[in-house]
Amino acid sequence: QVQLVESGGGLVQAGGSLRLSCAASGRTFGTYSMGWFRQAPGKEREFVAAITWSGSRTVYADSVKGRFTISRDNTKNTVYLQMNTLKPEDTAVYYCAAKDAGGIWTTEKLYDYWGQGTQVTVSS
């Protein structure tokens, strides 16, 4: 069992930056593939970024490529999402997710564990 707790959300002006963190419980964090998803008001939850257990591979949604960076520190049981050049359309609740398997995953339903989410609001 893994518990995930996101933090770092908030209100920021367009063009600004935020770094989200997702702290995981459990001794086997280093074996989990991790992902970030987001859900804007009135929309379905969508994929943002994912990373392999080792951090050697990452993948991004086209809408955030070049602006967001996913990373992880297995010694701290934490995955990060650095968000730069934020846009109003990035406003959403951001969720981290864990999958108890290797590989890299972009499909929401394949993840095993979810955090409670953190709100990111980008003003124009």
The string of pLDDT tens digits covering residues 77-97 is: 999 999 999 999 999 999 999
Number of helices (H) and strands (E) in the chain: give both, helices first: 0, 11
For the segment 26-67, what is each residue's pLDDT rounded down to a tens digit? 778 888 999 999 999 999 999 999 999 999 999 999 999 999
Beta strands in 1-124 (DSSP E): 4-7, 10-13, 18-24, 33-39, 46-51, 58-60, 68-73, 78-83, 92-99, 113-114, 118-123
Distance CA 74, CA 29 (A): 7
Provide the token pair at 103. Answer: 């590989």
What count of residues does the chain have?
124
